Structure 1
Amino acid sequence: MTRQLQRIFVLALALAIVGGNAASGLAAQAADEVADGQWFHNYLHTTEAHRTTDGTGVLVAVLDTGVAHHPDIDASMVPGFDITGVGSPDGRTDTDGHGTSMAGLIAANGRVHGIAPGAKVMSVRVQESGEGGLTGRGSLEAGIRWAVEHHASVISISLGGEFTITVRNALVMAAEADVVVVAAAGNTPEAGQVEYPASQPGVIAVGGVDRNGNHSKISVNGKELVIAAPSDDISSTYLAGKWGHGSGTSNSTAIVAGAAALIRSKYPDMSATEVIHRLTATATDKGPKGRDDQYGYGVINLVAALTANVPPLTPSAAPSAAAPSTPPTTNAEAPADKPLNLGILLAGLAGLLVLVALIAGAVVIAGRRS
């Protein structure tokens, strides 16, 4: 996959090397761009959503390029792991900036804010760079397994690459462990298909929308697309304690991962399948009615996902639907009762009459002889 954040501008607010009014003007411009890039909070009504929950009690694993130290997210981080073996063992090395941005969209709480600021984030560094897809040192499969084994309840994957059976098996393991997995659909619409692992059944494949809630020009379309979320012109945490600004379905993915964390915080006993159902059932429908290849089931609606009365995907068995005390069987197990054969009945009666006649005849003969 090409870089999910298609453009990044480092927004340094401390411009000590620039003097006078020029420094003030540049600082103000940078500050405005950081604030402006947080537009998705108003769009998603996150302040209202946080009146219900802020994601407390949920652990989100970010499988990416690592997460650098940053004042906006350090309080939200717990030790992770570096699969590449070339950075800090706890996953807190990031030389690219991509993973740091994703962590900020999930749980930052400072100059920029995440969707679930009360959640904890665990960095699982599966590769060194966000360029060129899943390449180089590291392993997505190993990262998924490590995250599951270390009790993440949501896994966010803003990367994509080629299908491999090992990654597939790791995703199956995550599903069996009741983990919600969210992945980016991709930023190459010309490819005409959702990238892997977003295309894996059971994974939430996330597409992007712009500031108006319309399909983003950079977002991939496809039959596997599940839901859409803000992707364009978004600011988040970046390297060296600074902030970055960019576009891509990576952003959408981190936002949906944060939403899944909110749901898991509000409904701690809800299964991963039901979390996904709640996200899709409450999404704001866009495009053709129902699911479509641009928006999936619609654009994420945070407040509705947390508060709406959503019937369960598989209703609990009601008393009237309970299994009978003696389950029905097939003919192979226990043949059904057959109607009485009339021919056999008549033959039996005839035999009985003959027997009676013989006995009667014997009695008459015996009487004559006497």
Structure 2
Amino acid sequence: MILRRLVPPLVAAALAVSVFPAPALADAVRDQQWYLGFLHVAEAQRLSQGEGVLVAVADSGVDATVPELAGAVVPGKDFGGNTGDGRKDPSGHGTAMAALIAGRGRGGNNGVLGMAPKAAILPIQLSRDIDFGGDPRDVAAAIDYAAGKGAKVICLSLGTSDTDVVRTAIANAIAADVVVVAAAGNKPERGSVDFPANVSGVVAVGAVDRNGERAAVSVAGPELIVVAPGVDIVSLDIGGRTRTATGTSDSNALVVGAIALIRARYPQLKGPDVVRRLTETAQDKGEPGRDPVYGYGVIDLVKALTAEVAPATSSPAPPQPSQSAPTGSGGKGAAVFAAIGAAVVVVVFIAVLQAIIRSRRRRP
């Protein structure tokens, strides 16, 4: 009798376990995105989600079939001898970057979520293996293409050879109001920031760990601008598989997503003002002020979206006139002395006039 009473609840419990495993697995993936809480992404996304911002990802291409990127990837272009529109990815690196920037999840709290889930991704395929660094001619062509298509920010989670053609493309993109963001590099033993992150005007990004301390792989250098999480970063691979990686490529993609949030919330801001908003609100680390290990500090999304920040292009206030009296002949001092002299002349004149009148009255 007792057994009969227990069977229905046990069956119901078993059905509940067998029918609802997917959300539990998906939630586990979201829970592994520790950087979402670290950066207060949920609070930031109540202010902006990257609406209307086109983000160029110059990488290995982007797998547009990944569910979390459904509707987010527009047709792009292939370079480096490839043909296509950038929406295929042989290596998975570009797909991971795109998911960190604009991953839309799978509904509710399921699936991988990016920083700016309402931004659009412009995929640009550079090579079949991004680890080789990218041919500088392809990188330059990709930057030119992105700027021509109206991208407001370009993600360069790569390094390449220092060439004038890339420098020129970057300068032209910045002049066209594009924010160019590049990974600082994953080989600190080299002792210098990778190219093109070390180019003036580029936002060079380093990596920190779960404690906000410099990641072991993160390159340091005077060109570093900001840092973001770059250790054990969960994102997506081709086919929608999850991927966990460590490196400045991942921290770079998170900063690109942050810039997309800023550009959506403040569409009137020009590129330098967008970057200033990012740097002025960063959480200072290491030596006070900007330093070669953390740049201006760890990005702070909520402050970047809410703080009062002076424009980068504003000129200093004009100097105020001196409060002390100048001593030149045209100054206040000369004027005072002139007034006193005039008063003395008047007094003397009146005294002389009165004396003449009195003398005349005394005459018979």
1:66 aligns with 2:65: no
Q: Distance in 2 between matches of 1:186 and 1:33?
A: 30
- Cα-Cα RMSD: 2.3
- In structure 2, which of residues 74, 87, 95 is the aligned counterpart of residue 100 of structure 1? 95
**Which residue does 1:81 correspond to in 2?**
77
Contact 2:30 2:113 in 1 (8 A): no
**Which residue does 2:336 correspond to in 1?**
none
Within-5 A mapping of 1:182-201: 182-201=181-200
Higher RCO, 1 vs 2 (CA within 8 Å, ≥6 residues apart): 1
**Which residue does 1:113 correspond to in 2?**
113
Contact 1:153 1:180 in 2 (8 A): yes
Contact 2:188 2:217 in 1 (8 A): yes
**Which residue does 1:351 correspond to in 2?**
none
Give the length in aligned residue pairs: 296
Gaps spanning 5+ residues in structure 1: where? 1-25, 322-370
Amino acid at match of 2:199: Q
Amino acid at match of 2:177: D
Contact 1:34 1:245 in 2 (8 A): no
For each residue in 1:225-266, what CA deviation from the matched residue of structure 2 results, as whole angstroms up to 9, or x when unmatched? 000000000111111121111111001110000011111101
1:246 aligns with 2:241: no
1:124 aligns with 2:124: yes
Amino acid at match of 1:119: A
Q: When the two structures are superposed, what TM-score results if normalisation uses the length of structure 2?
A: 0.77
Shift of 1:35: 3.2
For each residue in 1:67-115, what CA deviation from the matched residue of structure 2 results, as whole angstroms up to 9, or x when unmatched? 012111122111111113424x210111100000000000001100100
For each residue in 1:40-62, what CA deviation from the matched residue of structure 2 results, as whole angstroms up to 9, or x when unmatched? 01000011001111010100000
Amino acid at match of 2:85: D
Amino acid at match of 2:123: S
Q: Distance in 2 between matches of 1:163 and 1:252?
A: 22
- Taking only the aligned residue pairs, the percentage that are identical comes to 49
Amino acid at match of 2:115: I
SS of the aligned residue for 2:128 comes to: coil
Shift of 1:127: 1.7
Contact 1:215 1:295 in 2 (8 A): yes
For each residue in 1:162-214, what CA deviation from the matched residue of structure 2 results, as whole angstroms up to 9, or x when unmatched? 20110000001101101000000000010100000000000000000001111
Shift of 1:134: 1.8
Within-5 A mapping of 1:153-232: 153-232=152-231
Q: Distance in 1 between matches of 2:94 and 2:217?
A: 20
Shift of 1:34: 2.9
Gaps spanning 5+ residues in structure 2: where? 1-20, 106-110, 320-364
**Which residue does 2:141 correspond to in 1?**
142
SS of the aligned residue for 1:63 comes to: strand
